[in-house]
Amino acid sequence: MPPLLQMRGISKSFPGVQALKAIDLDLGTGEVLALLGENGAGKSTLIKVLGGAHVPEAGTIEINGRTVTITTPHDSQDAGIGIIYQEFNLVPELTVRENIFLGQEGGSLSWINARRERQRSRQLFERLGVPINTEAICNSLTVAQQQIVEIAKALSQDARIIVMDEPSAALTLKEVDSLFAIIRELRSQEIGIIYISHRLDEIFRIADRVTVMRDGAHVGTEPIMSLTRKRMIEMMVGRSIDDEFPKQTAAIGEERLVVRNLSRGRAVKDVSFSIRRGEVLGLTGLVGAGRTETARLIFGADRSDDGETELDGRKLSINHPRDAIAAGICLLTEDRKSQGLVLGQSCLENFGLPNVTAFSRFGLLRHREERAAFATYVESLQIKLTSQDQLAGTLSGGNQQKIVLAKWLERNADVIIFDEPTRGIDVGAKYEIYLLINRLAAQGKAILMISSELPEVLGMSDRILVMHEGRVTGEITDVANATQEQVMNLAIA
């Protein structure tokens, strides 16, 4: 029996970049193949070739031993391929049923057979083992439910191959378990799945084999049982990383940031804590625990109902982010694309936004100084870009995060809040961010690191706070001997 999917010698280039270099990929029937690699490795380009968004310059694609030509998304769909991108392709204002059958309405004389669509929708959700109201408006659903709608949509088109791009990025632990149950059910129905994720723990739970890409080339494919986490990382980054979390303890001094009785409605309830000079304070909890809401209150992005903030013994009056920035507090937002960057502007312009005053004289922007300053961060943070004028939206997730870092580092802030600093970026870029956190702590900065990744929190924090339903439910001071179970017990308290 030939593989369900066989891609051979797939090559694709863009101006100045060889994105794919004769890539080979096989997917078996009923198999979960993890596709791994750093940001910019070529994973997305390869998937877009499979989905008909890009046309390769060389190579062949076979499905069940039959060569297929894919030059449009319709070709991909007709070949039995369903692509579920990280940013869903749903119309928020339409119902679940309407989204599933959008573009494939089968009614006669311009009439849509809604009754038949409802019946087929229910059958699809029964097949997935998840009850969802077929007439619910999509923007009323949770992220996990919208993802299931995308899977149902692919199955409605008789997909035998489903690609999932970072499917767990915005899911809770319980929702990830439910997703994996659906994937196992799809596998039992002889559907092949390509699973893309930067969360290596998930790969060991769900994948049968792993294909690794680096710099547009195929590094290797191995059964999951033959791989260790360390070996997987080495394949992705092309070098040995002895310690995935290279924590270095800085000299911890006096209190810098003090938060007392911070409150906002039901989201944040009487939260108090302090961060000392040179300390990395980890803040964790389940999705919806109030972590991001707390960070936004400190930064002035939302108005608090009560509470006060002090920096270096001085009480602050923060009613707007500009107040926080002026006081020496910066926030790397959880959603860098919509809140941390202006994607339609250049990397240089994004870097300069909070630093316009520093690079201006008599109302005129000193472009040469701005470019020179940005160039130092491009080098020190190893930001991969074609030029400073490249649009921020065209960078990989890891490089976008580094642009956000660069603009705040230029501000020389005293307190740096990292909200999910490594979400959606590869292990190599994560390692570089961890090293940067070490350097900032060594400079005496006070760092608040919010993360859902428990290994990251345990690996990089000097002290850990855990939140649940808007409140701080526990503090862990002996981080070296703490366990994920200990943190989770506090998170569900």
Residue identified by tokens 């294909």 is 211
Of 419, 387, 401, 160, residue with least CA distance to 281: 419
Compute the average pLDDT of residues 286-296: 88
Question: 156-184: per-residue pLDDT in tens?
Answer: 888 999 999 888 876 777 788 888 999 99
| pLDDT, position 240 | 74
Neighbours of 155 (CB within 10 A): 22
Average pLDDT, the chain: 89
- Which pLDDT band, with edges at 50, 70 and 90, does 395 fall under? confident
pLDDT higher than 80, residue 102? yes
Compute the average pLDDT of residues 70-94: 90
Compute the average pLDDT of residues 342-364: 87
How many whole angstroms separate alpha carbon 316 and alpha carbon 308?
7
| pLDDT, position 95 | 93
> Do residues 3 and 26 lie in contact, with contact meaning Cβ atoms separated by under 8 Å?
yes
**Domains of the chain: residue spans and CATH:** 5-237 (3.40.50.300), 255-491 (3.40.50.300)
- Which pLDDT band, with edges at 50, 70 and 90, does 114 fall under? confident
Question: 235-273: per-residue pLDDT in tens?
Answer: 988 877 767 888 988 999 999 999 999 999 999 999 999
Question: Could you tell me the end-to-end alpha-carbon distance of the chain, in angstroms, rounded to an integer?
Answer: 52
Q: Is the dihedral of CA 389, 395, 397, 398 positive or negative?
A: negative
Q: What is the DSSP letter of 137?
A: B
| pLDDT, position 476 | 96
| pLDDT, position 22 | 95
> Do residues 442 and 434 lie in contact, with contact meaning Cβ atoms separated by under 8 Å?
no
What are residue 429's phi and psi, to 5 degrees? -70, -35
Angle at 206 between CA 205 and CA 208, to 5 degrees: 115
275 SS3 class: strand
CA distances, 17 to each of 39, 414, 441, 455 (Å): 14, 39, 37, 35
pLDDT higher than 70, residue 110? no
In sequence order, which residues have a C-beta less than 8 Å from that of residue 299 and are 6 or more positions away?
318, 321, 324, 329, 330, 331, 417
> Do residues 280 and 465 lie in contact, with contact meaning Cβ atoms separated by under 8 Å?
no
| pLDDT, position 433 | 87
| pLDDT, position 52 | 95
| pLDDT, position 106 | 55
